[in-house]
Structure 1
Amino acid sequence: MLIRNVDSLVQARAETLTYMRLLVRLLHLALVLAPGGVWLAQSGAPLHGLLAATLSFAGVLTLLAFQALGLYGSGLFGRQLQLRRQATAWSLTFIALMLVGGQLPLLAAASIEALLGWYASTLALLLLARLALHGWCRRLARRGVGLLPTVILGCTASGNRLAAYLTENADIRARLVGYVDDRTDRQAFGMAGLPYLGDMPQLERMVRAGQAQLVLVALPWSAVERMGDLVSLLRRLPVTVLLAPDMAGLQHAHHRVTAVAGLPMFNISELPLKGWSPLLKRCEDVLLAAVALALAAPLMLLLALLIKLDSPGPVLFRQKRYGYNNRLIEVYKFRSMYVEQADADAEAQTTRRDPRVTRVGRFIRKTSLDELPQLLNVLGGSMSMVGPRPHATATKAAGVLFEDAVSEYTARHRVKPGITGWAQVNGYRGETDTLAKIERRVEYDLEYIENWSLWFDFYILIRTLPAVLSADAAY
C-alpha cells in the first residue's frame, strides 16, 4: 500500500505541469472569447446565431497559433516575462482571423471599432495574465516551492557552478534538495549552501521513496567510465536523469545551444544580425534618417551660420573613426573647435572648459547637436541610427587606448556604429577619464548587440532625448 501511495504521489507531481499548462490554455481561451463576445455582441452587426460559431473558430485558431509559437513550452513557468512573445502571438492570431474574416459573416459585418476593441482588450488581459502568472511563479520559487525534487550528482567545480546558477535562477519546475557524491570526503564541501545527501545507495533510496525525481549529473565529461556506471544504474530507476553541461563552456556560450546536423553544440558567438535583420535595420535607418534630416534641416542651416560667424573655418569636421568590422569610416560632425586646435585623432579628449572649444561649440556639444550631420553617414550606409558610438583611432581612457583597456573592445565593431546607443542612454557619454567608464560602455554595447531588435532600437531612440537633456558629462 505504501509503495502504491508513493508511486501515485510521484505520478501526480510529474503530471502537475501538464495540468497547469492545460489551465493556462483554458485561461487564454477565456481571455480571447469573453472580450470577443462582448465587442461583437455590441457592434450592431446582425448576429444570425453565428456568434458561437465565430468565437469557436477564433478560439481554436488562437490555441493552435499560441502552441505553434511556443507559448506553452518550457518558458511558460520560467523567469523570462515573454511579454513580447505573448503580444506577437495574439497579434499574428488576430491578423490571421481578419484575413479569413470575409468568410465569416459576423466578422465581415462587425465595425472596425468593435474589432479593434476586441484586439486591444484581449491583448491587455493576456499581458496582465502573463504578469500575474510570472509573479506567482517567482514568489513560489523564492519560497522554495518546486514540483520536482532535484538532486545534483557530483561535487565538482561544474556541479558547484550548476548549483549556484540553479539557486539564483530557480523556478517552480525544479527544487534543489541537495547533492550526492560517492566520495565521502566531499561531505565537507558546500555547493551553494546545498546539503550533502549521501552516496549512490542513498540516492537510490530517495528515488524509490519519491524524494528525488530529477537527477542532474555534473561529473567531469572526462570521467567516461565512472559516468557510464552511474548512468547505467540511474536508468534502472524511475527518475529523470539529465547530463549537465560543462558550466564553464555554457557561461561562455551565454546559455545558447545550437544543433549542427542534429548534434547540440554550445553557441559561443554568432552574427548579431542575420536573416532579415540587416535589411530591416537598414530600412529603419533610411526611413528615420530621411525624416530626421528633413525635420532638422532648418536647425542645421542655422547652426552652420552660427558656426561660421563664431570662428573662421569649415562648418563640418571630418574625422576617421572605427566602423563596422573595424574598418575606418569618415564621420561628419559640426565643427566645435578652433580650426588650428582641432584634434583629428582625438589623442586628447575634451575636458570641462576646454580652451580648444568655441562658444557655439560648447552649446552644440552639450546638447549633442554637433552629431546631426551624422544623419548623412546613416543615409550613406556607414552608420546606423542606433548602435555603439564610433570612436576615433587614438581615443584613450586614463591614458590607455580603448582596445588595450578592454579586451572585448573590438567586439563592438560587429555592427555598424550609431548616432545614439544603449551605453549613451544609460549615462555613459562624454569624457572617459577612468578605465571603469570605458569598461561599462563596452558592457552596454555588447549587451545591445546580443539583444538587438527593432523594438530595442525604438526604445533607445525614445530614451535618447531625455538622456541628452539630463546629461552633464558632455563638454
Structure 2
Amino acid sequence: MREKSSVDSLFLTRAGFVEFFVVFVKLIHGLTAILPPLVLVLFLDPMAPELRSHFLGLLLFFAVLTIILFQALGIYSEELFSNRLRLRTKTVAWSAAFCILLFMYQILQFFPQLTPRNLVAWYFASLGLLCVERLFMLRLYRNLMRKGKYLQRTVILGFTDTAVHVADHLQRNGDIRSGLIGFIDDRTERIPKELSHLPLLGNTRDLEQLIRAEQVNQVMICLPWAAEQRIHGLVNRLRQMSVNVMLVPDMAALRYGHSRITDVGGILMFNTSQLPLRGWSPVIKRCEDVLLASLALVALSPVMLATAIAIKLDSKGPVLFRQNRFGYNDNEIRVFKFRSMFTDQSDFTAEQQTTRKDPRITRVGRIIRKTSIDELPQLFNVLLGNMSMVGPRPHATATKAAGIPFEVAVSEYSSRHRVKPGITGWAQINGYRGETDTLFKIQKRVEYDLEYISKWSVWFDLYIVFMTVPAVLSTKEVY
C-alpha cells in the first residue's frame, strides 16, 4: 500500500498530469457551454435530422470559441489549482462568451430554432453548471491534499523566522500547488527536529538525494538576504537539478502588506504597503455600512429597546456609555455602548480590563456583555461614519495586555488603524474577543486584523457578518 501511495504522489507531481488535467477541464467547460441546448434538441424538443447536424456543428463551433475566450481571460491560469472559488471570474468569462452567442443569434441569425426564453435558460443553466464544477473541483483538491498528494512537494531551505512564518502561512492557506513536507538546514544539530509541525529532513546533501529520487519538486530558500554568497552558491547548485527554486523575500517588510513588485521609472521595487481601500472601494464599503447598519437597526430595535428598559430598571445611571477609543488613523472617536457597569465604577479608559465575576458589572451587564448586545449602539457610530460594520475592533486608550500597552506589545499594532474600526471583525469570529490577558492574544488579534485589511472585499465582509452570531455564542472568555 505504501509503494502504491508513493507512486500515486509522484504521478500527481509530474507536469504531464497538470497538462492532462487542464485539457480535461477545457473539454468539460466546452461541453458545459453547449449542454443545455444539446439536451433541448436531443431530448426535449427534437428537430429534423437535416437541421440537427447543422445545429450541432454550430454548437461545436461555439464550444471552441468559449474555450478560447476562457483561455484568454485566464480561466486556465495557475489559479485553476488555488483554493479560491473564482465564481466572479467564471461569471465574467461566461457572460463574455454568451455575448458572442447573442451576436451569432441576433446579427448572424444562427440558432433560429431557439427562442429568447431558451437563451435565458441556456445562460443560467450553463453558469450554474460552471459554478458547481468549480465547487466539485475544490472538493477534489481537498480530498487529494488530505491524502498528502500535491502538484509539487515542497521543502523550505533554511531555518529562520521567515521560514517559520512561511511554513505557518502555507499550512493555513496553502493549496494543492505546493505541499510542504519539511525543512532543510545544514545546522541539523542546533535546531529542533520538528518545526511548525513539520520534520527536519536533513541537510543540503540530503536535499540533493531527495531531488534525485523525485521526492522534492520545489525548494523555497528562506535564508537571510545578507547571506548573499551562500544563496548564490545554493541557487547555482540547485539550477543543475530538476527542481523549481523559489527565493523567499525577507518577510519583515512584506509580512502583512499587498506585497508585489512595482515598476518605478524602470526600476523594480517591492511595494510593501499601499492604501488598503483604493479606487471605488471606500465608496462601496460606505454604502455597505449604511445599508447593513440601517437594516440591523430596524431588525434589532425591539432588542435594543428592551435592553434600555432593563438597564434602567436594574441600576441607576444613563442607558448609554460613551468611551473614547482609537479609530481611523489613530484618531480618537467616541464609541457608544449600552452601560454594563455601575455608574460610579465605570472605567472610561479601560485601564482595568473586566474579569470573571467582576464586581463592577451589573446583573443586566453580564448578560449583554456575554451576548455582545452592549455593542449594538455602535450601529449609530456606523451611520455617523466613524466606524464600519466590519473591521478591527476599536480599543480604549489605556487598554493593556499582561500589563503592557497594546502598541508596545505588538509593533504592528497601529497598522490596524489604517481602516475604520468595526463592530465585528475577522479576529472576533476566529475566537479572539474579550479579555486580552496575555501577549499571545493581542498578537493573534492584530495578526487577524491585518490579514482582514489585506484581503478586504464585500464578500469577505458579508461572510464575517454572517459568522458573527455563531462566533459570539461559542466564545466563553467574555465577561
Question: TM-score, normalising length from structure 1?
Answer: 0.74
Give secondary structure in 2 for the equivalent of 1:72: coil
Partner of 1:368: 372
1:323 aligns with 2:327: yes
Partner of 2:457: 453
Partner of 2:410: 406
Partner of 1:5: none
Q: Distance in 2 between matches of 1:333 and 1:58?
A: 59
CA RMSD in angstroms comes to: 4.6
**Cα deviation code 1:289-344 (max 9, x no counterpart):** 11111222233233223323333332221111001111111111112222222211
Bigger mean CA deviation after superposition, 239-248 or 364-373: 239-248
Q: Distance in 2 between matches of 1:188 and 1:348?
A: 46
Q: 2:77 pairs with 73, 76, 91, which one?
A: 73
Paired letter, 2:92:
L
Q: Distance in 2 between matches of 1:172 and 1:246?
A: 20
Q: Distance in 2 between matches of 1:223 and 1:352?
A: 50
Matched-pair contact (CA < 8 Å) for 1:179–1:197: no
Aligned-pair distance for 1:439?
2.1
Matched-pair contact (CA < 8 Å) for 2:336–2:378: yes
Q: Distance in 2 between matches of 1:335 and 1:422?
A: 25
Fraction of identical pairs, as percent? 45
What aligned pairs does 1:75-474 form with structure 2 within 5 A after superposition?
A: 75-77=79-81, 80-82=82-84, 84-85=85-86, 87-97=87-97, 99=99, 102-103=102-103, 104=105, 105=112, 106=114, 108-110=116-118, 115-132=123-140, 135-136=143-144, 139=147, 141=149, 161=163, 192-193=200-201, 196=204, 244-246=247-249, 252=255, 256-261=259-264, 263-474=267-478
Aligned-pair distance for 1:345?
0.9
Residues 118/397 of structure 1: CA separation in 2 closer, same or farther (3 Å cut): same
Residues 89/40 of structure 1: CA separation in 2 closer, same or farther (3 Å cut): farther
Give aligned pairs, total: 442
Q: Distance in 2 between matches of 1:424 and 1:187?
A: 39
Q: Distance in 2 between matches of 1:302 and 1:311?
A: 15
Aligned-pair distance for 1:171?
6.1
Paired letter, 2:422:
G
Paired letter, 2:28:
L
Matched-pair contact (CA < 8 Å) for 1:432–1:438: yes
Question: TM-score, normalising length from structure 2?
Answer: 0.73
Matched-pair contact (CA < 8 Å) for 1:215–1:241: yes
Matched-pair contact (CA < 8 Å) for 1:341–1:356: yes
Residues 311/55 of structure 1: CA separation in 2 closer, same or farther (3 Å cut): farther
Matched-pair contact (CA < 8 Å) for 2:368–2:374: yes
Residues 407/293 of structure 1: CA separation in 2 closer, same or farther (3 Å cut): same
Matched-pair contact (CA < 8 Å) for 2:389–2:424: yes
Matched-pair contact (CA < 8 Å) for 1:137–1:172: no
Give secondary structure in 1 for the equivalent of 2:305: helix
Paired letter, 1:96:
A
Aligned-pair distance for 1:187?
11
**Cα deviation code 1:34-62 (max 9, x no counterpart):** 35633676676989657536644653454
Bigger mean CA deviation after superposition, 307-316 or 45-54: 45-54
Matched-pair contact (CA < 8 Å) for 1:43–1:110: no
Q: Distance in 2 between matches of 1:44 and 1:196?
A: 67
Residues 341/57 of structure 1: CA separation in 2 closer, same or farther (3 Å cut): farther
Give secondary structure in 1 for the equivalent of 2:394: coil
Is there any run of 5+ residues in structure 2 with no aligned partner, and where? 1-13, 106-111, 192-198
Partner of 2:109: none
